[in-house]
Structure 1
């Protein structure tokens, strides 16, 4: 193997490792770099290996440039208060293994993201690992597209409880609104699910629907669902990420057109939307950990996010 071929292989592997975005096919293709350095190949004849390296480089650049187009700003009208994650915060602060489960439907699965690197659970994991390089943090993506709360409850035990998570980020409500499901039934199901999670001692953050054309078209139902999830958070004393309010601020106050953060189906977020959502959520978890590291007592009955 030539020196240039070795360098090409090493470069491709490094970039893939930094971004976490290379697919299995890309990784396989990059193995062919040993045959020839792409810079020595005539234009138009790079082949699979050269294209694989170009793809990885492109993903790496887009991952670092995602906020250059529009910055991800902390919402002005929603207070981000990180006081409801004492369990996971103390474990991260002490260097223990931490398991975080992202539980929900297609926006947890991150439908619409261009690569796995832009799925919100992966963005969140990378952010936490950068901030706490000595911590052992696992973020599991347990999102299944199309599910309503009843379907989530049916797999709560196997997908979540049996994994013994330290934090569960539970996104729900959108499909019930969009598909015209039973919104009123959500409260009882959600409270039952929270009780089961609290019984194993996990921290919980609820995530309400996204503010997008598909939900604003059913404004009354969307507002009702947001209210029900907020009520469950208050009554059950768990965290709440008010995604609906945050995304509404993107559109109404920051004047971002929907296509800046939503794909063309009018429902799912794009790379920027998932990245900003993950960033804001990660910032809040980090604040909670920093409070613990500073020796502050973190009460377990304070909501993670509270409207001003």
Structure 2
């Protein structure tokens, strides 16, 4: 019963659990202003790991196919064009050359642990053949109190399968929710995701730290039980902006490969 209540709470938070955009000091002057609510310290959106296959695809003028694997928190019911994958696609199209085709698709793995999701990756990659996979994971494992070492092993297997299939990978960690942080133990899963990212040299999008920053700074009220669709759209917009810039930065694109 506790697990069902927690999962319900986390999925509700998921509509708002969308993270950030970049800090002012990281934004080129020629770009449109980032909404104030989306602003973040640049260190929260920096990765030393690269996305070489994304860079190669853009350099060769090949379509950039991005697959987001996640839960229901990747969507906004009845407003898919406002969800963070759709927003990321739009921002990437704006930032990359007009000739660059960008397509973002979503694979919902609702209520699946990392191990359960990873078992689907071989067939999924054969069907989708993406250049980049953004894997959002950890929430269900934390709710179900999956052994952290088992979680780490499952994420390792999943990342290996995705890389062996020829894709770049970005890991996205748990959502932060002040309403549930005392009910689940997130640190072991956060730590293990970070370890896997380092071992496999893949970028980690730190959604947990980003959302906590928003909540602590008062940019978004993630505690209030009365969160409407407009707030969901705002945080998804911030997440889409952040992910688009995160991908561009991790691909280490030359200025000529970006829109001025």
Question: Would you say 1:155 and 2:117 are equivalent positions?
Answer: no
**1:270 and 2:232 aligned:** yes
Q: Is the 8 A contact 1:149 1:189 kept in 2?
A: yes
Greater relative contact order (Cα < 8 A, sep 6+): 2
3-state SS of 2:253 partner: helix
CA distance in 2, matches of 1:254, 1:76: 18
Helix, strand or coil at the partner of 2:192:
helix
1:106 and 2:72 aligned = yes
- SS of 1:188's partner is helix
Alpha-carbon separation, structure 2, partners of 1:114 and 1:249: 28
Separation (CA, whole Å) in 2 of partners of 1:101 and 1:261:
31
- CA radius of gyration, larger in: 1
Cα deviation, 1:43-73, whole Å, max 9, x if unaligned, reads xxxxxxxxxxxxxxxxxxxxxxxx86x5310
Aligned residue number for residue 225 of structure 1? 189
Cα distance, 1:139 vs. partner? 0.9
* Structure 1 residue ranges without an equivalent (≥5): 1-66, 296-308
Asked if 2 retains the 8 angstrom alpha-carbon contact of 1:99 and 1:166, the reply is: yes
Cα RMSD after superposing both structures: 2.7
Identify the residue that residue 148 of structure 2 maps to in structure 1.
183
Superposed CA deviations along residues 173-192 of structure 1, whole A, max 9, x for unmatched, are 01121233333311111111
Matched, 1:171 2:136: yes
Q: Deviations 1:142-198 (Å, cap 9, x if unpaired)? A: 123222212212211222344221101000001121233333311111111111122
For the 8 Å contact 2:135–2:171, the answer to whether it is kept is yes
Corresponding residue number in structure 2 for 1:91: 57
TM-score by length of 1: 0.64
Residue 92 of structure 2 corresponds to 128
Gap runs ≥5 in structure 2: 1-33
Name which of 249, 254, 258 aligns with 1:287: 249
Q: How many residues align?
A: 221
2:105 maps to which residue? Answer: 140
Q: Distance in 2 between matches of 1:258 and 1:144?
A: 24
Task: For residue 103 of structure 1, report the CA deviation from its aligned partner.
Answer: 0.8
User: How far, CA to CA, are the matches of 1:182 and 1:77 in structure 2?
Assistant: 30
User: Residues 14-25 of structure 1: matches in 2 within 5 Å?
Assistant: none
